[in-house]
């Protein structure tokens, strides 16, 4: 504890200690006297309470004896009369005045003793007295009864005991037996009276007095038992009994009564008071054969009555006097100690101030001295002694000028500097060494005298730090310049000299603008001043070019980092300068390399374009001529020659597909592929894929299915062409690598993967093909890579399809994954984020009911376009037909199940299901196999479409074509021949097929081998042939060839019904007969029925009416510089009856156009002398060419079509041109009004 706190503690503790000691002593004396007085009083009270308890016990005994006398008096009444009536009993009890004279008794009763045989006589007497409600209870028969006959007073409680047999209860019976045997009154133990109810119940007692016949002896127990007449009984409620005995004194005593014979049975029920009574006494009572323990305790009222307030008042008065005396003595001592402490604290405070000043001086981290006016040192701390090189005590009394020779008079020195200024000087130590120091000078008052406070700072550490900083700056790889507040250079390093070419002496204390180009120096001054007003770290030169100037005048590209530095009160700026000349040179080299890459990419694009042109040009001739040869329309080629021509054509088509794949891959890799996002209907796209790929699946006997999960938006925004290409590539691969089973395309919605308000659709292509090993999953997505060499030889292909597919998926911001197990098939999963169209078709809306109109035979129109459907309905009514219009496929299927129609007009693209599904169901239903079907859709007709009896029209169609459809239906035709040749070697299967085909309405001729089939074919004509390939005498292919030699099979439907696998080569062999392959499936003949019935649709043959071919006689100007293309295209155009004129370049084409009239011009765009772009532009702009010009180009690169259309071409075809594409283009333009002879001869 601090010694300075002891007096203050004494000032408080001494008065308190004396006060408390005096208070305890005096208070103890007062308390001792009071306790002695209290003990004497308590002894007297206990003696008094003992006497009162004995008195209560005596009162209880006296009262119970009084009750005994009452019972004896009533017993005398019962003995003195032969028969006591109820009225006599009542008068006797009323005379007793029980409640007034004997309070506490509940009831006085007479109980008659009866034997069993006397009970009925007794009850009869009672009933004769008018008490018809009297009953004995309990009712069980017994040998003896002691029945309550009378009771008093007759209140509601006591009435409940009348008729009660008291011998039926054990406690009552014990007391009765004792009284009976002894002839004396007997008291029961505690029990519950019959008078009690559940509310305010009390413990009860019964006192029995036996009554004997007066004429019978009763000296012995046996005589008394024989002479018993009954019992007079007194009933007591114990709480009421005690209240009757104690009267008004019951509030002063707490009575506790126990029967020692039944200690567990409570006798008195009362509210327990909190705490133990102050006085308590137990007395023992013996009453009528029972022993009671009477406990008497004092209550709060009794104790309060005994209280002596004067004794308590004397205690508190004595204690108050002792406390007051103690406080007075303590207050006096406190005032005395306070005065002593105040005087001591004033003295100590002065000493403490001096000591604090001394301690502060000693502990300052800098050298500190106090001096007198003449310069003598009065006090110095240890730091000053260390700095001066001596001991602090030795410094006292010495003059300060000895150590600071340059110091002026202290008063003069003080006038020259502010108290906070530090003045640098040299200090002379005791050993004669001089060190750099800085000092400050200020004054302090010491009474009437003045002292000087002198503070010195050792500058040796700062000088060392400055030296280290200089070395670091010198070692920095960057140039560092320190500029003071005046804008002058305060420090530079060696790198600055090397960077700018100036010497250090030249730069120090020179304006920093000397390092800048002359054009920037004047502006830099203002920028420097602005920086000093708001100093902060700043980096310059990263976002715009910044230059410094070398001594020789050349400019140096720089990056500069500025940092403010505080040196005392001066703000300096540190500039770190980085020479970025080499970086600029590297950036230039990168730009040069980027330009070289762009140039190489441009050369690559030009190479691809030129390669495309050079490859497509000969391919154009190869494909056109090979297509003409394999069709053998003149019929002058052998079968082997046409087969060779077909191989050439297919090989050329494969080469064309390879070229297209290479170009697509090059576009994606070069980033030149542009996406065109547009609304597209998912259902329509799947229907297009189904229609184009289903023939390929049917040829291989595969099941192709498409599914759209519920919740998938119908209309999305994406690139229609690229998405179609992705799914087609995947489905084509799946069909290619699957030998049996199915290929499935499903579209699902992944709600958990939504991106930026775009939904994620999962396109899953699943097949049951060969599968792909896991180690090959990544390889197959690389260009020109396949699983292995054996796969390449077996299935063919270049390995570009999946590579292009992945690139297209990535371009659409999606991803593609593969799940596959060898031998169990594969799953390709494409996830694409797509924007959902604002308005979606609602699937849950109830579709509109079919619209019926017109009179006559009904035509079913399945078309979701209401306007076009109305046009069809009008045309049907004009030809005498009625119409039923369905807007969905499900409605159409429902109608076809219940109705028959004269014809069906079917669209393929429907909002709910594909039209192909309706077509297959229609052909598989017995009621509709011969129903004429006309397909009118925007989906192009499949290339291998061979349903000759089903008309296929592509939208938009002319009114004349629609009218022709109904003219054919209206005109009718004779029933077609239904004769069919069945060739099957297994007799059971042959008979099974014969019966099934007969049920379909065919006239079947069955043959068991090839020889009998040739004979049957030679004897008659057949509209259809069903042939098994595995025959006993020859191969099924040889049979087809022999039948074709016997009579061409062009007009017959050929169905191959076999259990043998048909490879790709044999499928190509069957194409010349337009054969359909059906795999045997046991009893399932649906595929066979569909294949045969697909040909016999029941459509009416159109009437033979002369129709002018728009190509016949048309004049075409063919412009191409390649003689092979001219020859091939001319041969194709000659077959159509067109007149062809050839030109080798644009100049010849203009000359020919001026000499002759033409209906159409086919213009190659890449030619010498004058290319097609220039020639087209000249013909359209200078010569007023009004006929169609179709651009032909082999580039097939992006932008070629737009470039041709911009030059003036009306349409565009990419080489190589297929026969069908060219004919479709010619028909499109030459069928238009004014399309022929659009330009007169010049």
Alpha-carbon distances of 287 from 62, 86, 207, 291, rounded to whole Å: 10, 31, 10, 6
The per-residue pLDDT for 886 is 92
Secondary structure of 579-624 as H, E, C letters:
ECHHHHHHHHHHHHHHHHHHHHHHHHHHHHHHHHHHHHHHHHHHHH
The per-residue pLDDT for 1100 is 34
Lowest mean pLDDT among 22-36, 398-412, 478-492: 398-412
Distance CA 367, CA 381 (A): 7
Distance CA 500, CA 548 (A): 8
The per-residue pLDDT for 1 is 52
Q: 645 CB contacts (<8 Å, ≥6 apart)?
A: 626, 629, 630, 632, 637
**Kind of pairing, strands 703-708 and 742-749?**
parallel
Lowest mean pLDDT among 115-119, 447-451, 1141-1145, 1224-1228: 447-451
The pair of structure tokens assigned to 1004 is: 């079947």
Distance CA 982, CA 986 (A): 12
Distance CA 938, CA 864 (A): 12
Alpha-carbon distances of 578 from 196, 477, 562, 669, 1053, rounded to whole Å: 116, 9, 12, 40, 88
The per-residue pLDDT for 1136 is 82
Beta bridge partners of 663: none
Task: Tell whether domain 851-971 is in CATH 3.40.50.2300.
Answer: yes
Distance CA 510, CA 242 (A): 126
Distance CA 981, CA 1003 (A): 9
Q: From start to end of 900-978, where are the E strands?
A: 903-906, 933-937, 951-954
The per-residue pLDDT for 1128 is 78
The per-residue pLDDT for 793 is 43
Q: What is the pLDDT of residues 79-112, one digit of tens each?
A: 877 788 888 898 888 888 877 887 878 899 999 9
DSSP 3-state assignment of 803?
helix
Q: What is the pLDDT of residues 869-913, one digit of tens each?
A: 888 888 888 888 889 999 888 888 888 887 888 899 998 878 777
Among candidate residues 191, 196, 100, the one with its CA nearest the CA of residue 157: 196
- Chain region(s) in the chain for CATH 3.40.50.2300: 851-971, 979-1093, 1115-1230
User: Alpha-carbon Rg of the chain, whole angstroms?
Assistant: 66
Tokens 């250090």 belong to residue: 504
Query: Given a cut of 60, is residue 1101 above it in pLDDT?
Result: no
Tokens 């594969």 belong to residue: 826
Give me the sign of the Cα torsion angle 551, 553, 555, 560: positive
Beta bridge partners of 903: 859
Band (1163; pLDDT cuts 50, 70, 90): very high
Cβ–Cβ < 8 Å for 491, 470:
yes
Highest mean pLDDT pick, 61-70, 414-423, 688-697: 61-70
Query: Given a cut of 80, is residue 427 above it in pLDDT?
Result: yes
Q: What is the pLDDT of residues 503-535, one digit of tens each?
A: 988 899 899 889 999 888 888 888 888 888 888
Q: What is the pLDDT of residues 914-956, one digit of tens each?
A: 788 888 778 777 667 778 889 888 766 765 566 666 788 877 7
Band (419; pLDDT cuts 50, 70, 90): low
The per-residue pLDDT for 704 is 86
What percent of the chain is modeled with pLDDT above 70? 86
What is 52-302's CATH number?
3.30.450.350
The arrangement of strands across the sheet holding 186-187 comes to 144-152, 105-115, 228-237, 204-212, 186-187
Give me the CATH topology for the region 586-669. Helix Hairpins (1.10.287)
Question: Which architecture does CATH list for 979-1093?
Answer: 3-Layer(aba) Sandwich (3.40)
The pair of structure tokens assigned to 727 is: 């799914």
Q: What is the pLDDT of residues 157-199, one digit of tens each?
A: 888 899 999 999 999 999 999 999 998 999 999 998 888 887 7
pTM of the model as a whole: 0.35
DSSP 3-state assignment of 782?
coil
The per-residue pLDDT for 838 is 61
DSSP 3-state assignment of 528?
helix
- Angle at which helices 1036-1046 and 1010-1019 cross, to 10°: 20
Question: Which architecture does CATH list for 364-458?
Answer: 2-Layer Sandwich (3.30)
Alpha-carbon distances of 415 from 373, 662, 1099, 1100, rounded to whole Å: 14, 95, 129, 131
Band (1239; pLDDT cuts 50, 70, 90): very low
How many CA atoms lie less than 13 Å away from 159 in the CB half-sphere? 6
Distance CA 798, CA 664 (A): 14
Long-range contacts of 431-440 (CB under 8 A, 24+ apart): 431/389, 433/389, 435/387, 435/459, 435/460, 436/460, 436/463, 437/367, 437/387, 439/404
What percent of the chain is modeled with pLDDT above 90? 13
Q: What is the pLDDT of residues 1045-1077, one digit of tens each?
A: 888 886 677 888 887 767 766 766 776 676 777
Cβ–Cβ < 8 Å for 969, 879:
yes
What is 471-579's CATH number?
3.30.450.20
What is 677-835's CATH number?
3.30.565.10
- Angle at which helices 720-736 and 682-699 cross, to 10°: 30
Q: What is the pLDDT of residues 986-1015, one digit of tens each?
A: 888 888 888 888 777 678 899 999 999 999
Q: Left (φ > 0), alpha (ψ -120 to 50) or beta: where does 780 sit?
A: alpha
Query: Given a cut of 80, is residue 149 above it in pLDDT?
Result: yes
Band (613; pLDDT cuts 50, 70, 90): low
DSSP 3-state assignment of 1149?
helix
Query: Given a cut of 60, is residue 1039 above it in pLDDT?
Result: yes
- Chain region(s) in the chain for CATH 1.10.287: 586-669
- Chain region(s) in the chain for CATH 3.30.450.350: 52-302
Q: What is the pLDDT of residues 628-653, one digit of tens each?
A: 787 776 677 887 778 778 777 777 77
Question: Which architecture does CATH list for 1115-1230?
Answer: 3-Layer(aba) Sandwich (3.40)
The CA-based angle 406-411-416, given to 5 degrees, is: 70
Beta bridge partners of 559: 578
- DSSP string computed for 1159-1220: SEEEEES--SSS-HHHHHHHHHHTS---S-EEEEES---TTHHHHHHHHT-SEEEESSPPHH
Band (1198; pLDDT cuts 50, 70, 90): low
Beta bridge partners of 834: 759
The CA-based angle 407-408-412, given to 5 degrees, is: 140
First and final C-alpha spacing in the chain: 132
Q: 278 CB contacts (<8 Å, ≥6 apart)?
A: 298, 303
Band (9; pLDDT cuts 50, 70, 90): confident
CB atoms near residue 1117 (< 10 Å): 24
- Chain region(s) in the chain for CATH 3.30.450.20: 364-458, 471-579
Tell me the average pLDDT across 790-806.
60
857 vs 406, residue with greater confidence = 857
Distance CA 786, CA 793 (A): 10
The per-residue pLDDT for 1098 is 37
- The average confidence (pLDDT) of the chain is 81
Tokens 């649906």 belong to residue: 1086
Among candidate residues 177, 210, 188, 174, the one with its CA nearest the CA of residue 72: 210
The pair of structure tokens assigned to 457 is: 């700072």
């Amino acid at each position: 504890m601090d010694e300075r706190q002891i007096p203050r503690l004494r000032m408080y503790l001494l008065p308190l200690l004396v006060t408390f000691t005096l208070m305890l002593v005096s208070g103890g004396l007062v308390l001792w006297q009071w306790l002695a007085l209290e003990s004497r009083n308590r002894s007297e009270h206990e003696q008094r309470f003992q006497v009162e308890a004995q008195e209560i016990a005596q009162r209880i005994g006296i009262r119970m004896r009084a009750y005994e006398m009452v019972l004896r008096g009533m017993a005398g009444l019962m003995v003195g009369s032969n028969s006591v009536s109820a009225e006599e009993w009542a008068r006797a009890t009323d005379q007793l005045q029980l409640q007034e004279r004997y309070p506490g008794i509940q009831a006085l009763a007479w109980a008659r003793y009866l034997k069993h045989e006397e009970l009925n006589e007794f009850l009869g007497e009672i009933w004769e007295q008018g008490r018809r409600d009297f009953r004995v209870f309990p009712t069980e028969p017994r040998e003896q009864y002691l029945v309550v006959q009378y009771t008093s007073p007759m209140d509601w409680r006591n009435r409940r005991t009348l008729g009660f047999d008291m011998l039926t209860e054990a406690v009552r019976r014990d007391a009765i037996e004792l009284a009976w045997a002894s002839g004396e009154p007997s008291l029961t133990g505690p029990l519950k009276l019959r008078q009690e109810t559940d509310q305010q119940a009390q413990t009860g007692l019964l006192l029995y007095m036996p009554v004997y016949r007066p004429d019978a002896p009763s000296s012995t127990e046996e005589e008394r038992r024989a002479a018993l007449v009954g019992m007079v009984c007194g009933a007591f409620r114990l709480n009421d009994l005690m209240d009757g005995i104690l009267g008004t004194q019951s509030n002063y005593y707490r009575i506790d009564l126990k029967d020692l014979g039944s200690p567990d049975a409570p006798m008195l029920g009362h509210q327990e008071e909190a705490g133990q009574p102050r006085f308590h006494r137990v007395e023992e009572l013996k009453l009528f054969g029972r022993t009671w323990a009477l406990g008497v305790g004092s209550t709060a009222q009794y104790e309060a009555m005994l209280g002596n307030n004067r004794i308590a008042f004397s205690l508190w008065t004595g204690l108050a006097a002792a406390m007051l005396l103690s406080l007075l003595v303590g207050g006096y001592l406190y005032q005395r100690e306070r005065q002593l402490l105040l005087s001591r604290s004033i003295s100590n405070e002065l000493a403490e101030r001096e000591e604090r000043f001394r301690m502060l001086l000693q502990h300052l981290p800098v050298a500190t001295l106090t001096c007198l006016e003449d310069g003598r040192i009065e006090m110095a701390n240890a730091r000053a002694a260390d700095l001066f090189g001596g001991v602090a005590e030795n410094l006292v009394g010495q003059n300060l000028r000895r150590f600071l020779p340059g110091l002026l008079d202290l008063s003069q020195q003080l006038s020259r500097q502010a108290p906070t200024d530090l003045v640098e000087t040299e200090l002379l130590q005791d050993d004669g060494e001089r060190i750099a120091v800085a000092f400050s000078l200020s004054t302090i008052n010491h009474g009437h005298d003045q002292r000087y406070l002198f503070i010195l700072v050792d500058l040796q550490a700062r000088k060392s730090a400055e030296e280290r900083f200089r070395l670091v700056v010198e070692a920095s790889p960057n140039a560092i310049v320190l500029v003071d507040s005046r804008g002058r250079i305060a420090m530079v390093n060696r790198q600055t000299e090397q960077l700018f070419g100036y010497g250090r002496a030249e730069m120090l204390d020179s304006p920093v603008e000397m390092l800048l180009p002359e054009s920037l120096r004047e502006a830099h001054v203002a920028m420097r001043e602005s920086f000093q007003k708001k100093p902060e770290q700043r980096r310059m030169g990263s976002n715009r070019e910044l230059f410094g100037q070398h001594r020789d005048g050349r400019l140096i590209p720089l990056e500069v980092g500025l940092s403010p530095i505080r040196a005392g009160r001066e703000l300096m700026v540190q500039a770190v300068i980085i020479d970025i000349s080499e970086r600029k040179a590297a950036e230039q080299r990168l730009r040069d390399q980027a330009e070289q890459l762009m140039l190489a990419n441009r050369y690559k694009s030009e190479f691809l374009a030129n390669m495309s042109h050079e490859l497509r040009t000969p391919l154009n001739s190869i494909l056109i001529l090979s297509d003409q040869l394999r069709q053998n329309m003149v019929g002058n080629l052998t079968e082997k020659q046409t087969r060779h021509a077909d191989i050439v054509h297919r090989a050329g088509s494969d080469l064309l597909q390879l070229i297209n794949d290479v170009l697509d891959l090059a576009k994606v890799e070069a980033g030149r592929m542009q996406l065109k996002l547009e609304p597209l209907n998912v259902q329509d796209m799947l229907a297009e894929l189904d229609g184009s790929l289903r023939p390929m699946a049917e040829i291989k006997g595969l099941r192709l299915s498409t599914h759209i999960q519920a919740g998938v938006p119908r209309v999305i925004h994406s690139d229609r062409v690229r998405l179609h290409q992705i799914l087609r590539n995947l489905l084509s691969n799946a069909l290619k690598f699957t030998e049996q089973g199915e290929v499935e395309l499903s579209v699902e919605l992944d709600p958990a993967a939504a991106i930026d308000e775009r939904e994620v659709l999962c396109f899953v292509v699943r097949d049951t093909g060969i599968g792909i090993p896991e180690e090959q999953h990544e390889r197959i997505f690389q260009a020109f890579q396949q699983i292995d060499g054996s796969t390449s030889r077996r299935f063919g292909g270049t390995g570009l399809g999946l590579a292009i597919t992945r690139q297209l998926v990535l371009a659409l911001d999606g991803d593609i994954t593969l799940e596959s197990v060898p031998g169990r098939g594969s799953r390709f999963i494409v996830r694409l984020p797509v924007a959902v169209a604002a308005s979606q078709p609602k699937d849950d809306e109830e579709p509109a009911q079919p619209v019926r109109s017109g009179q006559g035979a009904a035509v079913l129109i399945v078309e979701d376009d209401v306007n076009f459907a109305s046009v069809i309905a009008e045309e049907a009514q004009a030809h005498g037909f009625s119409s039923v219009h369905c807007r969905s496929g499900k409605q159409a299927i429902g109608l076809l199940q219940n109705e028959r129609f004269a014809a069906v007009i079917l669209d393929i693209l429907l909002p709910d299901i594909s039209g192909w599904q309706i077509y297959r169901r229609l052909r598989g239903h017995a009621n509709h196999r011969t129903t004429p079907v006309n397909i009118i859709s925007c989906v192009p007709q499949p290339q291998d479409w061979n349903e000759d009896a089903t008309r296929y029209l592509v939208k938009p169609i002319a009114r004349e074509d629609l009218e022709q459809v109904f003219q054919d239906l209206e005109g009718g035709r004779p029933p077609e021949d239904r004769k069919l040749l069945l060739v099957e070697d297994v007799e059971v299967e042959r008979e099974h097929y014969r019966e099934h085909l007969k049920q379909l309405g065919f006239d079947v001729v069955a043959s068991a081998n090839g020889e009998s089939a040739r004979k049957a074919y030679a004897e008659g004509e057949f509209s259809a042939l069903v042939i098994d390939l595995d025959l006993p005498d020859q191969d099924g292919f040889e049979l087809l060839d022999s039948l074709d030699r016997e009579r061409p099979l062009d007009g017959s439907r050929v169905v191959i019904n076999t259990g043998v696998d048909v490879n790709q080569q044999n499928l190509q062999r069957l194409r010349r007969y337009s054969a359909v392959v059906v795999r045997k499936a046991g009893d399932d003949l649906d595929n066979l029925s569909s294949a045969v019935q697909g040909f016999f649709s029941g459509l009416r043959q159109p009437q033979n009416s002369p129709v002018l071919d728009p190509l016949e006689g048309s004049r075409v100007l063919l412009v191409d510089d390649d003689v092979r293309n001219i020859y091939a295209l001319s041969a194709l155009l000659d077959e159509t009856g067109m007149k062809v004129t050839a030109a080798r370049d644009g100049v010849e084409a203009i000359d020919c156009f001026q000499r002759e009239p033409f209906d159409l011009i086919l213009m190659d765009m890449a030619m010498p002398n004058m290319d097609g772009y220039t020639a087209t532009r000249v013909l359209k702009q200078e010569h007023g060419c009004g006929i169609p010009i179709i651009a032909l180009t082999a580039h097939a690169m992006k932008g070629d079509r737009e470039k041709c259309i911009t030059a003036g071409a009306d349409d565009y075809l990419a080489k190589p041109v297929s026969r069908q594409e060219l004919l479709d283009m010619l028909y499109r333009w030459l069928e238009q009004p004014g399309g022929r002879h659009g330009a007169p001869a010049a």
